[in-house]
């Protein structure tokens, strides 16, 4: 089946276009799971937005500090219930977690239930519910394969049309029927969030009485890049590390002349400078038969950091830095193989004078950039 990446597509519209949306979403990823939070601040506008952001921040903090999903969910739901009883600002929310094997759990606190969607049909994921103080919490689960997904929504969707021709609003069952009809007509699964927003607006007679948000968590074939940089501290491990690097699924990139020499030696291949190289600002790149890209190390990684976020068409053509950026930019998962052997050139005054940050310092900065763009990062240090 290959590696699956769980892409999140969110579409939303504020109750009043000139005011902030009271629905807030957040996606957190690591190598074991993708977590998506959809939080609906009670009311609308800036107060609802602030409340929803505080709720999301609290959930994120608890999860990052080692709370289990259910512990974090229950903790924040209890806080929101206390606020609700005291007539203070509160928010309702849904948290969905999809493990790397596709097993998904959806927890909701006073929010619409989720839909499971496949290529040509959808199903209402009915939650097991229980009373929670004055509110209701629910839990549902499913397993996602390639081409399948979960749809989460705020109640601006399920209540669409309330008081405007629909006595009880659109409702989750009718939302599910709509999705099924769209899929049968040939709609792509990725189009569903916008289609639901559009239909909800129609039911609200183009003057919706709540913020509208739909999120799709969609499983698709993921793109993997493996990047090896830096020789191992123990040179006796050269062959072991190179073989581990090569055994992984995905593109293979080597950064660093010393690292490239090790790879070439282990593979018994020739290390050559790329004859087509003609960049005026980037270091030269190399060639090793069987490796997708071989570049210089510290300078290239520094230049990669400096251009991250630029439009690809603005970058220098035929540059190894541009190629490295293009390959990493489209990757969903980056496996980093990081050698700990010190590079003596890193202490050269020319590096400091040119503002070149050492490999061991530039890599963590790049990892932050990668994570900001939603990439899953795996690190192996040796």
DSSP string covering 219-286, please? Answer: EEEPPEEEEEES--SSGGGHHHHHHHHHTSSSEEEEE-HHHHHHHHHHHT---EE-TT---SSSPPEE
The DSSP code for 3 is: -
Q: CATH number for the 4-221 domain, one of 3.40.50.300, 3.60.40.10, 3.40.605.10, 3.40.50.620?
A: 3.60.40.10
pLDDT for the residue 142? 98
pLDDT for the residue 276? 79
pLDDT digits (tens, 9 = 90+) for 206-224: 899 999 999 999 999 999 9
Tell me: pLDDT of 69 over 70: yes
pLDDT for the residue 318? 83
For the chain, give every domain's residue range.
Answer: 4-221, 224-381
Lowest average pLDDT, out of 100-104, 229-233, 329-333, 348-352, goes to 348-352
pLDDT for the residue 117? 98
Cβ-in-10-Å burial (0-12, 13-18, 19+) of 382 comes to middle
Phi, psi of 196 (to 5 degrees): -70, -40
First to last CA, the chain: 30
pLDDT digits (tens, 9 = 90+) for 27-66: 999 999 999 999 999 988 899 999 999 999 999 999 999 9
Percent of the residues in the chain that have a pLDDT greater than 70, as a whole number: 97
Rounded CA gap, 286 and 64, in Å? 40
Mean pLDDT within 174-198: 98
Rounded CA gap, 304 and 46, in Å? 38
Residue ranges of E strands in 110-171: 114-117, 122-125, 128-132, 135-143, 149-153
The DSSP code for 166 is: B
Mean pLDDT of the chain: 94
pLDDT digits (tens, 9 = 90+) for 307-366: 999 999 999 988 999 999 999 999 999 999 999 987 766 566 767 777 889 999 999 999
pLDDT for the residue 136? 84
Percent of the residues in the chain that have a pLDDT greater than 90, as a whole number: 85
Rounded CA gap, 46 and 199, in Å? 25
3-state secondary structure of 325: helix
Rounded CA gap, 305 and 329, in Å? 12
The count of residues in the chain is 382
* Cα angle 120-125-126, degrees, rounded to a multiple of 5: 145
**Are residues 237 and 382 in contact, defined by beta-carbon separation less than 8 angstroms?**
yes
The closest of 244, 249, 228 to 295, measured between CA atoms, is 228
Rounded CA gap, 316 and 312, in Å? 9
pLDDT for the residue 342? 79
pLDDT for the residue 280? 76
User: pLDDT-derived band of residue 2, with 50, 70 and 90 as boundaries?
Assistant: confident
Mean pLDDT within 233-261: 96
pLDDT digits (tens, 9 = 90+) for 157-170: 999 999 998 999 99
């Amino acid at each position: 089946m290959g590696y699956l990446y769980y892409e999140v597509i969110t579409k939303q519209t504020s109750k009043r276009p000139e005011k902030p949306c009271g629905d807030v979403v957040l996606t957190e990823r690591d190598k074991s799971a993708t977590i998506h939070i959809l939080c609906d601040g009670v009311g609308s506008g800036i107060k609802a937005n602030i409340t929803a952001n505080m709720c999301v921040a609290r959930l994120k903090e608890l999860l990052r500090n080692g709370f289990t999903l259910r512990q974090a969910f229950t903790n924040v739901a209890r806080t929101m219930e206390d606020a609700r009883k005291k007539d203070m600002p509160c928010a309702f929310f849904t948290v969905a977690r999809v493990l790397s094997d596709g097993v998904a759990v959806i927890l909701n606190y006073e929010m619409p239930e989720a839909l499971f969607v496949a290529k040509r049909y959808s199903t209402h994921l009915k939650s097991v519910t229980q009373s929670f103080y004055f509110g209701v919490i629910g839990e549902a689960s499913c397993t996602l394969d390639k081409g399948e997904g979960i749809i989460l929504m705020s109640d601006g969707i399920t209540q669409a049309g309330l008081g405007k021709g629909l006595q009880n609003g659109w409702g989750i069952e009718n939302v599910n029927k709509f999705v099924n009809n769209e899929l049968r007509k040939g709609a792509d699964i990725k189009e569903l969030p916008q289609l639901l927003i559009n239909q909800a607006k129609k039911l609200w007679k183009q003057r919706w009485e709540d913020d509208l948000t739909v999120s799709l968590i969609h499983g698709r074939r993921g793109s993997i890049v493996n990047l090896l940089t830096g020789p191992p501290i123990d040179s006796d491990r050269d062959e072991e590390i190179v073989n581990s690097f090569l055994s992984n699924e995905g593109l293979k990139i080597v950064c660093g002349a010393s690292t490239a020499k090790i790879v070439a030696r282990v593979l018994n291949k020739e290390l050559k400078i790329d004859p087509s190289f003609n960049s005026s600002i980037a270091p030269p790149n190399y060639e090793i038969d069987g490796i997708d890209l071989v570049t210089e190390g510290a300078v290239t990684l520094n230049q990669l950091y400096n251009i991250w976020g630029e439009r690809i068409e603005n970058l220098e053509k035929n540059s190894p830095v541009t190629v490295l950026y293009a390959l990493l930019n489209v990757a969903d998962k980056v496996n980093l193989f990081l050698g700990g052997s010190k590079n003596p050139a890193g202490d050269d005054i020319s590096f400091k004078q040119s503002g070149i940050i050492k490999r061991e310092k530039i890599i963590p900065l790049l990892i932050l950039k990668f994570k900001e763009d939603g990439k899953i990062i795996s690190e192996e240090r040796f």
